[in-house]
């Protein structure tokens, strides 16, 4: 036993004070009796001699001395050497792939359990040469041998990533960066997937609790006739029972659903029609609770700008602009050929050969001319159910006057007043023309709820068919190119925070799933990133250990004993107090 504070032994001198006080106390009590002759000549009683001897060996005195001894030993801070196993080199490898986020209990993940197991190994098997490695598709050295941070701290502060699983080759490369596997007598790997081609003295600790259902694929295709989209999803049920769930496809405004009963341990694909969607960014969601919720949602974006590029001719109307910006991001452009929508307000213009044109009480050569103004009475819908009039209540509209429009093209009237067109459309292979014959400021539209709805419907009509380049969404860890969409100005995440990217490669590697936004001179594009599909195929089972022969040495660790001596002193003090109280009560009852 090693005493760290030997000066505390001087406290034993207090035993002399205890003994002095003990012998100064009165041991016999004086009593009055009638005579002494009854005791004269009697031989001494051996039992009375024994009693006198016991008086000098008082249990209370012994307890007090023992209490003093225990307190003194506690103050000396004693340590005891215990034998334990040690290794000259220890490599702790923890799987940090996305599947290690799977919950094995409420608030406890596989990664948490793996950290706890490795911390226990550090406690039981100390080593002066410890390396800690996070293994994933992008492995990381948490603790080089030269680091001043403790291995326990490095493990406790680490968190799992969103990357795919690492391979045995990745592990070999990381071990090679710190001298190779020969530097370590013990290599312990905590993971949720079996691994092959491991070093012969490696130990594999598997954590596979937690059942999962997830989406392994999701993509969207724009219908060629621009009448919505079709969604493709692939679903994996990695549980041992049937699962009832609902798949929801959303574009941020509309949604389509599909209810399913999925058989156990199966993977199926589904096509979900989404005819009323005009969006560019889509989300597929599973309405289910399981151990790994990250793969219950996947994202997809069509390769087209999420904003509307606008070109103005004539005076700008702030009410129309406000309604547009409330419906979608709007970017003003100076080149008409790059515009998604050309708005002409109270002007007569030459013919525009292609694009989407909105004429607000305006004329265009070869298409429509504006005549004199006339009162607008008895408004009516000429084409019920037209997408442009969806959710618009014609009875709420108040229009005083309209211009008598004369069409040179076969336009179709959507809203009319006394047989004269109020809202009309024309379309061919290269252009689409919408004509509104009233002055917006001479109507109640700027203050009516139907006006933003009408503008939103118009924005939904501005569908740009994306090129058929790829219908797979990137995953975390992939290299995502940023070129081909114009001059890059910025890249932001879902919280509008800037993201670093390689200007030389014009690409970036996302480290977590979500929706990113690429800002270019041609507009804003959504870049969707998903959890790796490989992390959904989760095995289930109990923790398994593959043990290996490990070269170990016998060493010792020091365990503090002062808490035990302090606890002993407290127990003895309670016993002494109890005995002293008991003797006091008995003496009071004696006559």
pLDDT in tens, 86-117: 566 889 999 999 999 999 999 999 999 999 99
Query: Which uninterrupted H or E stretch holds 356?
Result: strand 355-360
Cβ-count burial 442-473 (b if 16+ within 10 Å, e if not): ebebeebebbbbbbbbbbbbebbebeeeeeeb
- Low-confidence winner among 11-25, 275-289, 444-458 (lowest mean pLDDT): 11-25
Q: Which domain holds residue 514?
A: 480-529
* Model confidence pLDDT, tens digit, residues 141-150: 988 755 678 8
Q: State mean pLDDT over 461-467.
A: 61
- Residue 471: predicted pLDDT: 63
- Residue 360: predicted pLDDT: 93
- Residue 38: predicted pLDDT: 62
Query: Which uninterrupted H or E stretch holds 564?
Result: helix 562-589
Q: State mean pLDDT over 337-357.
A: 91
Above 50 in pLDDT, residue 54? yes
- How do 186-191 and 90-95 pair as beta strands? parallel
Q: Is 25 exposed, middle or buried (0-12, 13-18, 19+ CB in 10 A)?
A: exposed
Domain CATH code at residue 245: 2.60.40.10
Which of 304, 333, 362 represents a domain boundary (last residue)?
304
522, 544: one domain? no
77: left (phi > 0), else alpha (psi -120 to 50), else beta? left
Rounded mean pLDDT of the chain? Answer: 84
Q: State mean pLDDT over 42-64.
A: 62
* Model confidence pLDDT, tens digit, residues 485-501: 888 999 999 888 999 99
Q: Give the pTM.
A: 0.64
Above 60 in pLDDT, residue 542? no
* Model confidence pLDDT, tens digit, residues 230-255: 999 999 998 888 999 999 999 887 89
Q: State mean pLDDT over 390-405.
A: 89
Residue 120 domain flag: yes
Distance between CA atoms of residues 118 and 139, nearest Å: 18
- Low-confidence winner among 5-19, 167-181, 407-421 (lowest mean pLDDT): 5-19
At CA 178, angle to CA 177 and CA 183, rounded to 5?
A: 130
193, 179: one domain? yes
- Residue 124: predicted pLDDT: 81
Above 60 in pLDDT, residue 338? yes
Residue 575 domain flag: no
Q: State mean pLDDT over 282-288.
A: 94
CB 381 within 8 A of CB 388: no
Could you tell me what percent of the chain has a pLDDT over 90?
Answer: 40
Distance between CA atoms of residues 434 and 98, nearest Å: 50
CB 243 within 8 A of CB 261: yes
Distance between CA atoms of residues 76 and 560, nearest Å: 11
- CA–centroid distance for 150 within its chain: 27
Tokens 């309670």 identify what position?
Answer: 574
Distance between CA atoms of residues 495 and 507, nearest Å: 20
- Residue 115: predicted pLDDT: 95
Above 50 in pLDDT, residue 284? yes
- Residue 8: predicted pLDDT: 82
- CA–centroid distance for 476 within its chain: 13
Domain CATH code at residue 108: 3.40.50.410
352, 437: one domain? yes
CB 369 within 8 A of CB 564: no
421, 520: one domain? no
Distance between CA atoms of residues 576 and 585, nearest Å: 14
416, 490: one domain? no
324, 432: one domain? yes
Q: Which CA distances in Å does 407 have to 228, 354, 371, 425?
A: 30, 17, 11, 10
Residue 82 domain flag: no
Q: How confident is the model at residue 554 (pLDDT cuts 50, 70, 90)?
A: very low
Describe the chain by its helix, strand, coil percentages, rounded to 5: 25, 35, 40
* Model confidence pLDDT, tens digit, residues 469-480: 556 789 999 999
24: tokens are: 């100064």
- Residue 226: predicted pLDDT: 59
334: tokens are: 């100076």
At CA 108, angle to CA 102 and CA 112, rounded to 5?
A: 85
Contacts 24+ apart (CB under 8 A), 388-392: 388/414, 388/423, 388/425, 388/434, 388/454, 388/457, 388/458, 388/461, 389/414, 389/415, 389/454, 389/457, 390/453, 390/457, 391/453, 391/457, 392/450, 392/453, 392/454, 392/457
Above 50 in pLDDT, residue 371? yes
Q: How many Cβ atoms from other residues are within 10 Å of residue 288's Cβ?
A: 17
Q: What are phi and psi of 558, to 5 degrees?
A: -95, 125
316, 454: one domain? yes
119, 189: one domain? yes
- Residue 86: predicted pLDDT: 56
142, 175: one domain? yes
Helix axes 59-75, 14-24, angle to 10 degrees: 170
Q: How confident is the model at residue 9 (pLDDT cuts 50, 70, 90)?
A: confident
Q: How many Cβ atoms from other residues are within 10 Å of residue 506's Cβ?
A: 12
Distance between CA atoms of residues 401 and 320, nearest Å: 19
Q: How confident is the model at residue 78 (pLDDT cuts 50, 70, 90)?
A: confident
Helices (H) then strands (E): counts for the chain = 9, 35
Q: How confident is the model at residue 434 (pLDDT cuts 50, 70, 90)?
A: very high
- Residue 480: predicted pLDDT: 92
Above 90 in pLDDT, residue 270? yes
Q: What SS3 state is found at 280?
A: coil
- Low-confidence winner among 38-47, 66-75, 428-437 (lowest mean pLDDT): 38-47
Above 80 in pLDDT, residue 82? no
CB 444 within 8 A of CB 397: yes
Domain CATH code at residue 352: 3.40.50.880
Q: How confident is the model at residue 221 (pLDDT cuts 50, 70, 90)?
A: confident
- Residue 550: predicted pLDDT: 41
Residue 426 domain flag: yes
Residue 132 domain flag: yes
266: tokens are: 């199966």
Helix axes 59-75, 562-589, angle to 10 degrees: 160
* Model confidence pLDDT, tens digit, residues 497-534: 999 999 888 999 999 999 999 998 878 889 999 999 99
* Nearest residue to 280 (alpha-carbon basis) of 260, 266, 300: 300
CB 397 within 8 A of CB 441: no
* Nearest residue to 158 (alpha-carbon basis) of 143, 168, 146, 137: 143
Residue 150 domain flag: yes
Residue 4 domain flag: no
* Model confidence pLDDT, tens digit, residues 309-334: 899 999 998 888 888 888 777 888 88
Above 50 in pLDDT, residue 547? no
- Residue 180: predicted pLDDT: 86
Residue 394 domain flag: yes
Beta bridge partners of 488: 520
- Residue 217: predicted pLDDT: 92
241, 101: one domain? no
119, 205: one domain? yes
- Residue 27: predicted pLDDT: 53
Q: Is the model more confident about 14 or about 193?
A: 193
Q: Is the model more confident about 42 or about 426?
A: 426
- Residue 552: predicted pLDDT: 43
Above 60 in pLDDT, residue 13? yes
144, 182: one domain? yes
Number of domains in the chain: 4
- Residue 538: predicted pLDDT: 46
């Amino acid at each position: 036993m090693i005493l760290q504070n030997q000066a505390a032994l001087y406290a034993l001198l207090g035993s002399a004070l205890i003994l002095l006080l003990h012998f100064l106390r009165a041991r016999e009590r004086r009593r009055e009796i009638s005579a002494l002759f009854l005791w004269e000549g009697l031989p001494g009683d051996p039992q009375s001699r024994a009693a006198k001897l016991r008086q000098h060996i008082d249990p209370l005195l012994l307890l007090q001395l023992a209490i003093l001894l225990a307190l003194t030993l506690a103050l000396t801070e004693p340590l005891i050497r215990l034998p334990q196993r040690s290794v000259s080199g220890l490599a702790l490898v923890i799987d940090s792939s996305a599947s290690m986020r799977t919950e094995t209990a409420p608030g406890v993940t596989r990664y948490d359990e793996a950290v706890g197991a490795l911390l226990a190994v550090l406690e039981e098997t100390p080593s002066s040469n410890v390396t800690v490695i996070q293994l994933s598709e992008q492995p990381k050295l948490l603790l080089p041998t030269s680091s001043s941070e403790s291995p326990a701290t490095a493990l406790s502060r680490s968190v799992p990533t969103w990357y795919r699983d690492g391979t045995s080759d990745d592990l070999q490369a990381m071990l090679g960066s710190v001298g190779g596997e020969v530097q370590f007598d013990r290599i312990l790997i905590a993971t949720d997937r079996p691994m092959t081609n491991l070093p012969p003295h490696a130990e594999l600790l598997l954590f596979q609790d937690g059942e999962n259902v997830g989406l392994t694929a999701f993509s969207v295709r724009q219908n060629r006739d621009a009448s919505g989209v079709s969604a493709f999803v692939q679903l994996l049920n990695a549980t041992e029972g049937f699962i009832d769930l609902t798949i929801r496809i959303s574009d941020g405004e509309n949604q389509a659903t599909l209810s399913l009963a999925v058989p156990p341990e199966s993977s199926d694909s589904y096509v979900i029609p989404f005819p009323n969607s005009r969006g560019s960014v889509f989300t597929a969601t599973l309405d289910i609770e399981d151990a790994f919720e990250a793969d219950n949602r996947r994202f997809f974006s069509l390769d087209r700008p999420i904003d509307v590029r606008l070109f103005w001719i004539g005076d700008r109307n702030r009410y129309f602009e406000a309604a547009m910006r409330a419906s979608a991001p709007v970017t003003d452009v100076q080149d008409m050929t790059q515009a998604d929508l050309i708005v002409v307000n109270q002007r007569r213009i030459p013919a525009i050969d292609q694009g989407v044109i909105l004429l607000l009480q305006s004329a265009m050569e070869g298409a429509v001319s504006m005549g004199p103004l006339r009162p607008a009475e008895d408004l009516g819908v000429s084409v019920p159910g037209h997408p442009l009039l969806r959710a618009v209540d014609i009875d709420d509209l108040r229009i005083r006057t309209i211009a008598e429009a004369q069409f040179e093209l076969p336009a179709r009237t959507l809203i009319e007043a006394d047989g004269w067109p109020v809202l009309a459309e024309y379309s061919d292979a290269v252009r689409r023309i919408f004509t509104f014959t009233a002055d917006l400021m001479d109507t109640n539209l700027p203050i009516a709820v139907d006006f933003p709805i009408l503008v939103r419907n118009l924005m939904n009509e501005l569908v740009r068919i994306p090129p058929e380049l790829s219908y797979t969404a990137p995953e975390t860890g992939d290299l995502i190119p940023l070129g081909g969409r114009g001059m890059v100005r910025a890249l932001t995440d879902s919280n509008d925070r800037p993201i670093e990217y390689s200007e030389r490669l014009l690409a970036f590697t996302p480290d977590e799933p979500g929706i990113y936004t690429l800002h270019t001179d041609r507009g804003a594009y959504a870049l969707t990133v998903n959890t790796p599909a490989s992390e959904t195929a989760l095995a289930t089972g109990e923790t398994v250990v593959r043990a290996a022969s490990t070269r170990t040495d016998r060493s010792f660790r020091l365990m503090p004993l002062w808490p035990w001596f302090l606890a002993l002193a407290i127990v003895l003090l309670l016993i002494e107090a109890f005995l002293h109280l008991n003797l006091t009560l008995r003496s009071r009852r004696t006559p």
